[in-house]
Structure 1
């Protein structure tokens, strides 16, 4: 999976969580959220991503923020299940900020990869 595909998978995960915030009816989650190693982005990060980019600090920066995304998403899901809308409302913007952090980190990774390939004479 390329960086663009990882970016798309991350955006879709966050979109799906945010959709549940705005469209949740009964307070019970319809499925368990994957952890940060089980989601598509996490599988990319732990596998091909690490093989291709693991030596780059920009890649390693993603790990902590990605884990925070999942912690926040699980907390939102728990707050929805318990009917705590105030907490859901507080955490929604936090999840959006974390999403933006990952996207910025992916952009930085893309720049680092291009620079790294240029240093090695690759195109």
Structure 2
């Protein structure tokens, strides 16, 4: 039985926070695996979008927007990882502000999804 939409969206929020944490940790030299940062299909939120988000919420335009914004976040994260790999650590770390802007937009979309689903009576 699927979880209620509130629980699903809370799970997505947690996965999103995990992504931001991994990116920040990597840029500060933790040496963690970069695959979940680089590949939107490997990260936990990308898996949630594929397995839960699209199947359950595809009828809402915000789900498509969330998917696209998620891809954009990974493109920006890849840019920062490339800067870091090129020895431009300070520039990469400074770029976190752009990722944070995208992350806030993604959180807002999750909030909008939740509000719309609540009005649908799900």
Structure 1 and Structure 2 fold alike (TM over 0.5): yes
TM-score, normalization by structure 2: 0.83
| Residue aligning to 1:3 | 9
Q: Which runs of 5+ in 1 are unaligned?
A: none
- Give distance in 1, aligned partners of 2:99 and 2:52: 26
Count of residues in correspondence between the two structures: 114
- Give distance in 2, aligned partners of 1:51 and 1:37: 15
Q: For the pair shown, which has the larger CA radius of gyration, 1 or 2?
A: 1
Of 30-39 and 76-85, more deviation after overlay is shown by 30-39
| Residue aligning to 1:15 | 21
Q: Which runs of 5+ in 2 are unaligned?
A: none
- Give distance in 1, aligned partners of 2:11 and 2:89: 32
| Residue aligning to 2:40 | 36
Of 76-85 and 5-14, more deviation after overlay is shown by 76-85
- Give distance in 2, aligned partners of 1:74 and 1:63: 17
The structure with higher relative contact order (CA 8 Å, sep 6+) is 1
Of 101-110 and 35-44, more deviation after overlay is shown by 35-44
What are the residue-to-residue correspondences of 1:1-123 with 2, within 5 Å? 2-21=8-27, 23-24=28-29, 30-34=32-36, 35-117=39-121
- Give distance in 1, aligned partners of 2:20 and 2:34: 14
Secondary structure of 1:83's match? coil
Contact 2:40-2:70 at 8 Å conserved across structures: yes
Give 4+ residue runs of structure 1 displaced > 3 Å after superposition: none
* CA-CA distance at 1:6 after TM superposition: 0.7
